[in-house]
Amino acid sequence: MRVEWREHLSVGVEEIDAQHRSLFEKFNTLMEACDQGKGGGEVVRLFGFLDNYINTHFADEERLQQRLGFPDHERHREQHQKFISELAAMKERLFSEGLSRLFVAGVNRLMTGWLIEHISGMDRAFGKFARQEGSISA
Ligand SMILES: [Fe+2]
């Protein structure tokens, strides 16, 4: 299952929107590799890209929030950490069980459920704050 970037997911901060779009692309590439029955090695490699990218993206977002004094940044960071630990559990599963339907379903659930919800809720709330502060242009 692919995730499509839609305008309603825009947080209005160019740097973050661009990273979210790349994140979706990386996820789609991973899912295509799974669908096409690419070898486990390729899937591990693509999952590693996605995992690294998500970690970097969250760190960038958290840095920006701190810099702008976003009042909800602690709670936001906790949500990121929760996601990262779920992703780590997926990685464990991939290493221990290899590529399985369970793995594909789990990654799908994380990306299409949690992440989309996070972007449209918490990230957009931060985007609104950042634009109101006037320090970031949409
Ligand atoms: Fe976020």
Report how far ligand 1's centroid is from the alpha carbon of 36 (Å).
Answer: 31
Residue 3 belongs to some domain of the structure:
no
Q: Which amino acid is at 97?
A: E
State the Cα–Cα distance between residues 27 and 76, nearest whole angstrom. 22
Report how far ligand 1's centroid is from the alpha carbon of 87 (Å).
Answer: 15
Domain that holds residue 61: 10-133
For the segment 69-126, what is each residue's pLDDT rounded down to a tens digit?
A: 999 999 999 999 999 999 999 999 888 888 888 888 989 998 888 999 999 999 999 9
Report how far ligand 1's centroid is from the alpha carbon of 43 (Å).
Answer: 25
Residue 72 belongs to some domain of the structure:
yes
Residue 65 belongs to some domain of the structure:
yes
Residue 84 belongs to some domain of the structure:
yes
Predicted TM-score (pTM) of the model is: 0.90
Instruction: State how many domains the chain has.
Output: 1
Residue 2 belongs to some domain of the structure:
no
Report how far ligand 1's centroid is from the alpha carbon of 100 (Å).
Answer: 28
State the Cα–Cα distance between residues 30 and 40, nearest whole angstrom. 11
For the segment 86-101, what is each residue's pLDDT rounded down to a tens digit?
A: 999 999 988 888 888 8
Full DSSP string of 12-45: S-HHHHHHHHHHHHHHHHHHHHHHTT--HHHHHH
Residue 91 sits in a domain whose CATH number is: 1.20.120.50
Residue 114 belongs to some domain of the structure:
yes
Report how far ligand 1's centroid is from the alpha carbon of 113 (Å).
Answer: 14
Structure tokens at 99: 């590529």
Residue 1 belongs to some domain of the structure:
no
Report how far ligand 1's centroid is from the alpha carbon of 47 (Å).
Answer: 20
